[in-house]
Structure formats: structure tokens, C-alpha cells
Amino acid sequence: MTPEDVLQFARERGAKLVDLKFVDVPGTWQHFSVPLHELKTETFVEGVPFDGSSVRGFQTINESDMLVIPDPDTAIMDPFTSVPTLSLVCNVAHPGPVGSKKPYSRDPRYIAKKAEEYLRSSGIADTCYFGPEAEFYILDDVRYKSTDNIQYVEVDSNEAAWNTGRNGGTPNLGHRMRVKEGYFPVAPNDTLQDIRAEMTLMLEELGIPVEAQHHEVGAAGQAEIDIRFNTLTKTGDNILLYKYVVKNTARRHGKTVTFMPKPIFGDNGSGMHTHQSLWKEGKPLFYDPDGYAGISKLARSYIGGLLMHAAAILAIAAPTTNSYKRLVPGFEAPVNLVFSKGNRSAAVRIPLTDNPAAKRIEFRPPDPTANPYLLFSALLMAGLDGIRREIEPSDHCFGPVDQDLYHMSREELSKRRSVPGSLDESLAALESDYEFLLEGGVFTRDLIEHYVDLKRAQADEVRLRPVPIEFALYYDA
């Protein structure tokens, strides 16, 4: 769309307000609204001012004046506001004369755009596609509190096995899923089909094609809606809109959604397996019918880059302390830094397909708490570094490995590297291995330093607090 098209789109749909959305460093949408009459064609160049000092990871108070500049291609009508509202995703910039406004180096969306430009300038490819599979839990109740003398959390799901003996104000009709048996059962066990269907249809109405929706393995309401792959920045936009739709649709039904990687002990965590491929002049570059699992030498080098830099990438791909309650060795988690065909126990899986256009690689450690713009950009930069350095994964004990890694002996597993065991370890890895992210000016040291500081402060918040299981283990010591 052009700015003129956006204004016409808004008028035709009776918009009264314009909601301006942008993303903070951790990866959460922020927003503010203005009356429609404040949106003019020049707004798409001049921007709208806001205070950058109150946004996580952005400016200090003495340098707080910032601008959001709407992207006309992101225009939609917000489906959740009672007042007709035009929604626009924005880029962030520093104030300045018209034509000289400088993009903000810590704007994750700007980093994604630079990553795509760097890919084109490399001559390796001109297009990168990303297809994330974000999982989440739909819960009926959540309560938590963290004060000096109180530490607790309680979640509930009407589908959960722990409710088989519930005796409350409504009849208990049974048909609850057993732990880890939430994958594909029909109604009446699956009570969330209609909510997921509503989410799916709304995503499609907003321009995000959906490939499938289903109940996931987690018995207490885990779900997955798979959206169609797209280019890097566009997929970042789509994931944030996806989260917005999923959370607010659940709220309409009196339920709540969490994308936490491990909200429930003893059942499956929620990941965001990320499919990737490179193309040039309309041709896929990851396909070779004679290669292992049908992938090309270029794809192997891309995988080599991913696995070589995996520890650093995990600081962005699994960016919370809770992430490492999902990525635990010995359980069904993609912690082993190897690649394999069709093997979901490997960090990198090559889906089995003979279609050249569908040949891709899947990086499985990420989870949906990641900032999608930073995640996809970091994955691309690692893969390009592997291609540039011609990293052969088998030269570094990265596989291929086709046996079930979950049933390997301890001696066999000791020969394989695994992902870091904590957020602190991942942040330390990023601090020692980030040069590949700086190529082409895509990431900046400033952004990486502020990101690490922000995440380390979160890790400290968790480390300082006692948790209930410690009382169960040690109170009577």
C-alpha cells in the first residue's frame, strides 16, 4: 500500500483511531493511538514522536525523544477494539530534518531489514524464508505472586488430568487427557477446537495464511497453529500479530494464553521450531537430489554455521530463564547440536521432502519468548557465516546422526555438544561469540551489550528468589 491507499482503506472502513505499534528489545509489541485526522501522508515520512526512555532496552531519559514511522504495508483494522481502529506497525527513528531521520540502531525491526539487505549484498542469495511453529498453552486460570515472603504460582486447565477428581459447582464430565497424550485426540477430550478455529480464521482474514491447527502434546491445553512461511521481516511482523490474535481471542472466551516455554512441570514445553531456506532469482538453494537428505553443499555449510554458533544464538533463541526448563538433556528436547533427516531429537532437522521448493532446514531449540526479528536475523547471519567459511558440520562432530539421540548411551552422547544449560551460559557464549552478527552492520555492539544487560538483570531476578520446591526439599534440613 501507499500512504494514500492506507488513508483510503481507513476511511472506507470507518476508522476513528490509528494504533501505532512497535517492538521493544525483548520482543513485545508496544503501542499508542492517535485520532485518524492526525494520520496524513507526510506522517509516513515525518513520523510521530514518543518517549523512548520508558521502553525496555531503548533510550535513557536525557536522550528520550524518538519517532515511530508507520509502514503502510502493515495496515489492518484491529479486530479487538470496540472503536474502529486502524493498526500500523512502525519503524523507530531518531528525530531530525525531513529526509535525514536516522533509523534507531536498537529497533529490532530495523535489524531484520538490515539482515535482508546484507543477504542481498552478499551475492549468496536474494531471499530468505522463515517458517516458525509457535506453540502455546490455553489455560483457564493463572495466579502467581512474588513478594518478600510469598512465592507461588498456580495454573489450571479444564482439560488437565489433575481435574479428573474435581468436585465443584459444575458437573465433572471426565474425558480428560493423560499427561503427554494431548497430540491429536478428538472431542470431547479436545475442548479447544472451536477457539483454535476462531484464531485460525481471524489470522487468515488479517492476511496470514495458516497451514494447520491442532492440539499439541501437552495435555493441559497446549496448542499449535502453523502459519505459512514468509520473508524475514514479514515473518517477524506475522509472529507478533499471531501472538496478539491468539492471546486476545482466548481472552474473549474467558481463557488465557501463555507462550512461556515451560509453564507446567512434567508435561511438554512450548517451542518455536524455525524452518529456513535461501533462494536466488526464484530458485531454491538448499536442494540437491544427490546430497544427504536431499540438501546441497550450501545448505550443509549453512547448518554448520548454525551449529558452530548455536551457543551464542541460544541467548536470542531461548532468551528466558524459563527456556532452560524446556531445554533439559535426557528429556524430549532438541538439546543435541547435530543435524539429521527427519529426526526430531536433533537440533537441526531436515524435513523429508523431494520437492525442491520445499527443501529447508529446521532449527528446533528456539521458543516463542524470542524476539522474532532478532532471532531470524541471528539465524541468517550464522548460516551465512557458515557458507562464507564453508563450514562442513561433519568436521566438527555435528553429524549427521540418524539414530534416536534420546536413547543413545551416555558414552555416545559425551562425544556430542549440547546447547547451554542456562540463560547465564548462553549470554556468556554470546559475549564471546558475536562477531558474525556484526557483519554488514546488521547487529551493533551497542545493541548486543544492552540486550545482554537486560537479560542478565532478568536472570538475577530469578536467581535471588527462593522457589517452592526448595522448601519441599530443604525446609527440614
Orientation angle between helical segments 372-389 and 297-308, nearest 10 degrees: 120
The answer to whether the Cα torsion of 161, 217, 136, 322 is positive or negative is positive
- Side chain identity at 2, as an amino acid letter? T
Task: Look at residue 272 and give its three-state secondary structure.
Answer: strand
Residue pair 89/22 in contact by the 8 Å Cβ criterion: yes
Quick check: bond before 171 cis, omega within 30? no
Residue pair 293/350 in contact by the 8 Å Cβ criterion: yes
The Cα-based distances of 315 to 61, 291, 307, 374, 425 in angstroms read 27, 32, 14, 11, 8
- 220 CB burial (10 A radius; 0-12, 13-18, 19+): buried
Quick check: bond before 188 cis, omega within 30? yes
- To which residue does cell 465443584 refer? 168
Task: Look at residue 211 and give its three-state secondary structure.
Answer: strand
SS (H, E, C) 31-63: EEEEEHHHCCCCHHHHCEEEEHHHCCCCCCHHH
Residue pair 448/437 in contact by the 8 Å Cβ criterion: yes
Percent of residues in the chain assigned helix, strand, coil, to nearest 5: 40, 20, 40
Residue pair 253/223 in contact by the 8 Å Cβ criterion: no
Number of neighbours of residue 319 by Cβ within 10 angstroms: 26
Just list the catalytic residues. Answer: 51, 133, 135, 216, 224, 273, 344, 362, 364
